Structures are given as C-alpha cells and as structure tokens.
Amino acid sequence: LEWLVEAGIAPDRLIPGTGVTALPETVELSAHAVGLGCTAVMVLPSFFYTGAGDNGQARYYSELIEKVAKPSMRVILYHIPQNSGVPVSPALTARLSKAFPDTVVAYKDSAGDWNNTAAVIAAAPGISVFPSSEAQLTKGLASGAAGCISATVNLNAAAIRRLYDAARKGEDVT
C-alpha cells in the first residue's frame, strides 16, 4: 500500500483486501489500511475453521471492528465461498449492518449466484451491494445494487461505465 501511495495513488481510491486466516493479522492489516486513508477494507469471513456459522462469523467481524477501533473504518464484506469455503450469508450481513451501520457499508458478492445477491439486497437495505461481475450489473442496478466490483472492469472500464450510466438512466442496455 505504501508503494501505491508513494507512487501518487490517492489512498481514498484504494480498497485493499485485508482478510487473512488469523484475526490478529487481519486487524493489523485493516488498521494499517485505515490509517493510510484507504476508503474501505474488503474482508473475507474467517475461513480457517469453516464450521463457525453465522454466530462465529459475527464474532469475528465484531472483534475486527472493535480491535481496529477507528471511526473512519469502512468494511466491505467479501462473499466468495467457492474460494474461502465459507459464505457470508444474507442473515449475517443484515446482523452486521445493523450492529455497525457506519462501518459495515457494503457486500461484494463474488459467488455468481443471483439469488444470494437478491437476498442480501433485501436483507440489508442500508448497505451497498455489488454483484459478482458486470454480467449481473444491469440486473443488479434494477434490483437495488450499487454497481459491481470486477477485475475485468480494469480491462474495459470505459465500456462498463457506459453500461452503468445507461442502466442508471433506464435506457435499454440489452
């Protein structure tokens, strides 16, 4: 992160992934990113012990937020169960967004399951929800999603921005 900031990239343009297997390191990485002025941190659920369930995951995220203890901290919950082995359920998302409304601000759904994305939008209306990719962007926007966070957008940002703008205006984008 320091290298990016030193190279002239404004930290408020960065959203680093800080979720690792151990809570102390996740706290350290998250606190460092927040201290640099990053917009948010994207945090995987605790994935080393996969049987923690929503209660265990709620405790994990709560401890992270309480240990970082910075009012400027913003968390994007990162749901990618095909890689982490652990989901961030709609119920957990609702619970965390209610417990930490100024901190848990978004949900990145990389599972590619529209039903899950729609369930999160319904369960946690106070947060920004980002579907898995630009392939679900127009459907997502029509259903209340905020946009999408997608690696492939980096390859064709202008076209995806045009798609986003057209969908926001209600234009036919099929």
- Tell me the average pLDDT across 51-73: 96
Q: Check whether 174 has a pLDDT greater than 80.
A: no
- What does the block give as tokens for 102? 């100024």
Domain 2-130: state its class.
Answer: alpha beta
Q: In the 3-class helix/strand/coil scheme, how is 41-97 assigned residue by residue? A: EEECCCCCCCCCHHHHHHHHHHHHHHHHCCCCCCEEEEECHHHHCCCCCHHHHHHHH
- Tell me the average pLDDT across 60-78: 97
8-53 pLDDT, tens per residue? 999 999 999 999 999 999 999 999 999 999 999 999 999 998 889 9
Q: What is the mean pLDDT of the chain?
A: 95
- Tell me the average pLDDT across 146-172: 89
Q: Check whether 65 has a pLDDT greater than 90.
A: yes
pLDDT of residue 96: 99
**pTM for the whole thing?**
0.94
Residues forming a β-bridge with 42: 17, 76
- How many C-beta atoms lie closer than 10 Å to residue 71's C-beta? 7
pLDDT of residue 40: 97
Q: How confident is the model at residue 173 (pLDDT cuts 50, 70, 90)?
A: confident
- DSSP string over 127-174: SEEE-SSGGGHHHHHHHT------GGGGTSHHHHHHHHHHHHTT----
- What does the block give as tokens for 73? 């901290």
Q: How confident is the model at residue 158 (pLDDT cuts 50, 70, 90)?
A: very high
- Tell me the average pLDDT across 82-110: 98
- What does the block give as tokens for 134? 């630009």
pLDDT of residue 72: 96
122-146 pLDDT, tens per residue? 999 999 999 988 889 889 999 999 9
pLDDT of residue 152: 85
